[in-house]
């Protein structure tokens, strides 16, 4: 708060929606084109806009990054860590339509993978910002859960 004028600046975390989207027992993964975790394989994820619900933001991010339309089915979890600036909301979704085409500004590659076909093991980021290391932890937890029983 400014002592002179009383103006208050809030430093609140921004919501990020992550979607564990499936079709025919296969998981949709994208290879991220930018930070955090640039070059890593992950479920579609992105910032929720102020004029949309978390669920609508989750569906929009999948559509923008992959071309797929999804039905958001349920909340799987909420992950937070102080001083990272974001809160992850993770949803389970089902692909219901659309045409697969990666958005080249956000997605280097994409695919539908059975749990035994996931892209090769990704090493944890070591010389990266805290957000990369934390996002990697969250994604590792999510992918392990999907791999061993959804």
pLDDT at 147 (0 to 100): 66
CA-based end-to-end distance of the chain:
46
pLDDT at 148 (0 to 100): 52
Task: Report the C-alpha gap between 34 and 63 in whole angstroms.
Answer: 17
Which secondary structure element, helix H or strand E, spans residue 29, and what is its range?
strand 26-32
Per-residue pLDDT of the chain (150 residues; tens, 9 = 90+): 899 999 988 889 999 999 999 999 999 999 999 988 999 999 999 999 999 999 999 999 999 999 999 999 999 999 999 988 899 999 999 999 999 998 888 999 999 999 888 887 788 898 888 899 999 999 988 888 876 554
Architecture of domain 18-114: Alpha-Beta Complex (3.90)
Closest by CA position to 43, among listed 26, 20, 23: 20
| Domain segments of the chain as ranges | 18-114
């Amino acid at each position: 708060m400014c002592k002179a004028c009383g103006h208050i600046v809030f430093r609140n975390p921004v919501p990020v929606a992550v979607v564990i989207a499936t079709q025919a027992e296969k998981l949709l993964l994208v290879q991220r084109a930018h930070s955090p975790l640039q070059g890593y394989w992950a479920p579609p994820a992105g910032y929720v806009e102020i004029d949309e619900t978390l669920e609508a933001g989750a569906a929009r991010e999948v559509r923008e990054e992959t071309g797929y339309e999804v039905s958001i089915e349920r909340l799987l979890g909420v992950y937070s860590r102080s001083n990272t600036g974001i809160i992850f909301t993770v949803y389970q979704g089902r692909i219901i339509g659309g045409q697969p085409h990666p958005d080249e500004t956000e997605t280097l590659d994409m695919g539908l993978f059975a749990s035994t076909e996931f892209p090769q093991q990704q090493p944890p980021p070591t010389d990266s910002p805290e957000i990369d290391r934390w996002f990697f932890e969250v994604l590792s937890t999510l992918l392990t859960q999907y791999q061993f029983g959804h």
